[in-house]
Amino acid sequence: MYICSENFKELIEMNKELTANLLEQHLNKKAADFTRKDLITFMEDNDIELLNFRYVGEDGKLKTLNFAPTNRAHLEDILTFGERVDGSSLFSHIDAASSDL
């Protein structure tokens, strides 16, 4: 069975409650449209205290960086500017002497 993109969009609209993405369900918008404010609102509404950033490591495996923001301002800073990490522990080609990312 072939579903054209217009029909697919209509099906998505009709079945929003069936999406596996809890953020999409809660915010009632597609992931591509999320804003920093949306993520902060979701975390506050759901008492989420730990933020995970996921990336694919050089070994091809999914890796996770965990952050525990101490307050809303800290959370905003992490989502706006990122957070410092030791690059040598993430990527083997980065020298430990100059590895702050």
* DSSP annotation string for 40-94: HHHHHHTT---EEEEEE-TTS-EEEEEE--SSHHHHHHHHHH----BGGGT-TTS
The CA distance from 35 to 81, in Å, is: 14
- Residues 54, 10 share a domain: no
pLDDT at 1: 42
Residue 30 to residue 32: CA distance in whole angstroms = 5
Domain count for the chain, please give it: 2
Full domain range(s) for residue 92: 35-98
Confidence (pLDDT) at 72: 93
Phi and psi at residue 8, in whole multiples of 5°? -65, -45
Same domain, 79 and 49: yes
Can you give the pLDDT of all 101 residues of the chain as single tens digits? Answer: 444 455 656 665 666 556 667 788 888 888 899 999 999 998 898 888 888 888 887 778 888 888 899 999 999 999 998 776 655 566 666 665 554 44
Residues 61 and 14 in one domain: no
How far is the C-alpha of 36 from the C-alpha of 79, rounded, in Å? 7
